[in-house]
Amino acid sequence: MRKVLNISINDIIPSVKTVLRGQGIPPHVKPDERMIRLTEEAISIFQQKAKPIGLLSEISKDEFTNVFVGDGRNEIDSPIEKIYKVSDEFAIFAVTVGEDICSEILSLFKRNDFAIGSLLDSTASEGTEMAAQVIEDFYKKQLVKSGHFSKIKGILRFSPGYCGWHISAQKKLFQILHPEDIVITLNASFLMQPLKSISGVIITGKKDIFEFEDTFSFCKDCSTHTCRDRIDSLSAN
């Protein structure tokens, strides 16, 4: 299965609270009215200009091994390696919210409108993460329909640049997936264009294989540790 997914903008609109959390404002802190108004404005701009689209393609374990190894620059203790070797199904993906929203963010900063520019940047980042979740949810539904998913299984996505998986693996991922079909390209530094894009692998297997502590050497460089919430969510589903 290889499929282009046109994602509804209504499925990836982050809340004011979520955007402000991306700005470093914790949920228990009540923002002032001006901050709320600016955040709502940023969300409105995102809703008008974002053009979310994704691409998903199932691959075999052997194919993913080639993608994961990449140029041989991964950390030797990456939890992803331990997980995928005992997993069942794999799909690589790429998703973006489009170049227009990235251009708008850049334009706001060039005009020294840093407040709304920063809020729009956070909004777009959160929206892109939500778009990646839409892709993951779609793949899970396809597995359920085909009888390849059950209550004992979990599903989780991983991206190059995180969890000890070197960002240079993007090169082989792109060679197989061809995200240029949805206008996502890769530069010499393995960064995607548009910038508000995510690529990676979605892995399925027994829930317990996904359990790992964020105590690896590279975890200290992670500012979000969002893997914690996603791993915890497996037990609730």
The DSSP 8-state label assigned to residue 94 in this structure reads E
pLDDT in tens, 166-221: 999 999 999 999 999 999 999 999 999 999 999 999 999 999 999 888 888 888 77
pLDDT in tens, 28-57: 888 889 999 999 999 999 999 999 999 999
Task: Report, in this order, helix, strand and coil percent for the chain, each rounded to 5.
Answer: 50, 15, 35
Instruction: Name beta bridge partners: 206.
Output: 153
Contact assessment for residue 106 and residue 66, using Cβ atoms and an 8 Å cutoff: no
The CATH number covering residue 229 comes to 3.40.109.40
**Per-residue pLDDT at 222:** 77
- Domain membership of residue 216 as a residue range: 2-234
Say whether 111 sits in a helix, a strand or coil.
Answer: coil
* Phi and psi based region of residue 37 (left: phi greater than 0; alpha: psi -120 to 50; beta: remaining): alpha
**Per-residue pLDDT at 165:** 96
What residues contact 68, with CB distance under 8 A and at least 6 apart? 74, 80, 81, 84, 165, 169, 201
C-alpha span between 83 and 158 (Å, rounded): 11
What pTM was computed for the model? 0.93
**Per-residue pLDDT at 236:** 62
pLDDT in tens, 190-202: 999 999 999 999 9
pLDDT in tens, 84-142: 999 999 999 999 999 999 999 999 999 999 999 999 999 999 999 999 999 999 999 99
What total number of domains does the chain contain? 1
**Per-residue pLDDT at 237:** 64
